Amino acid sequence: MARSKTPKLLTTQQQIELACKNLRSLRWDVDYKYDTDCSECDANDYHRNCVIKNFRIESVNMKKISASVLANVHEPILGYCIDRILHISEMYNTYSWDYQKSSGYYGEEIDDVTFTGASSIDERIWELAQMTDVERILKVLEWEYGSILPILKTVKSFAVENVEIADVALPNDHYVAKVKVNSRYEQGMYDEWELPLGICVPVSNGQVKVVDGYHRVTKAISERAAIKKGDTILQVIVGR
């Protein structure tokens, strides 16, 4: 019998298991700094009594963290939802992180830097396991915004679609102002973004309106205008 050369795709359950496993085992992509208190040290004795103080996280690389967690997830809608959960859990926030230290022969040292909300992320990812794509997206949007837009309640299915930039209707200025408030956490985050950029619903004239991912979509559009001229297709999730 001929063997299929196509690699066997993972089931949704397996992808979720691996995402949670990756979440637990990844070396966190965070930059940190700390000071050392040497008041109890003898400089001639290798600083054996250094004490760590003022530990602080300088930056959290959400793009790398997301890519590591999603390394085994090939379903784009599932990947989009898990990525949103990482953000909803404020993983990007430097105050969401903690560290463990221990005393070594040469004073205190940092053993590990950990995200304090990992178990709640785990729980949320597992909640997605028994859901359809429609239920997943609505659940993630509800977690993020606290409610589900009426326009989304009639959606029968979500699918990844390639849409022309000209066919994307952008929402109002109020929305833009909100996006700018959070944008300092997101600098450089969507370069070479591999997930769908956002969630859209059809409006009139064959256009689609962005309901989630406004910042990613507008950034992608401005990048195309500036660098990738001629590439006018955006990959988004459209609910119909």
Q: Using CB under 5 A, pick the residue from 16, 19, 20, 50 that binds Zn ion.
A: 50
Question: What minimum distance in Å lies between the beta carbon of 53 and Zn ion?
Answer: 11
Question: What minimum distance in Å lies between the beta carbon of 51 and Zn ion?
Answer: 8
Q: What does the alpha-carbon distance between residue 66 and residue 83 come to, in Å, rounded to a whole number?
A: 6
Handedness of CA 78, 87, 228, 208 (dihedral sign): positive
Question: What minimum distance in Å lies between the beta carbon of 46 and Zn ion?
Answer: 9
Nearer to Zn ion, 38 or 176 (CB): 38
37 binds Zn ion (CB under 5 A): no
Instruction: Specify the DSSP class assigned to residue 79.
Output: H
38 binds Zn ion (CB under 5 A): yes
Question: What minimum distance in Å lies between the beta carbon of 101 and Zn ion?
Answer: 14
C-alpha distances out from residue 173 to 38, 142, 176, 177, 218, Å: 53, 22, 5, 6, 12
Transcribe 100-149 into DSSP letters: EEEEETTEEEEEEEEETTHHHHHHHHHHTTTS-HHHHHHHHHHHHHSS--
211 binds Zn ion (CB under 5 A): no
Q: Using CB under 5 A, pick the residue from 18, 26, 41, 52 that binds Zn ion.
A: 41
Structure tokens at 95: 């105050």
Positions touching Zn ion (CB under 5 A) are 38, 41, 47, 50
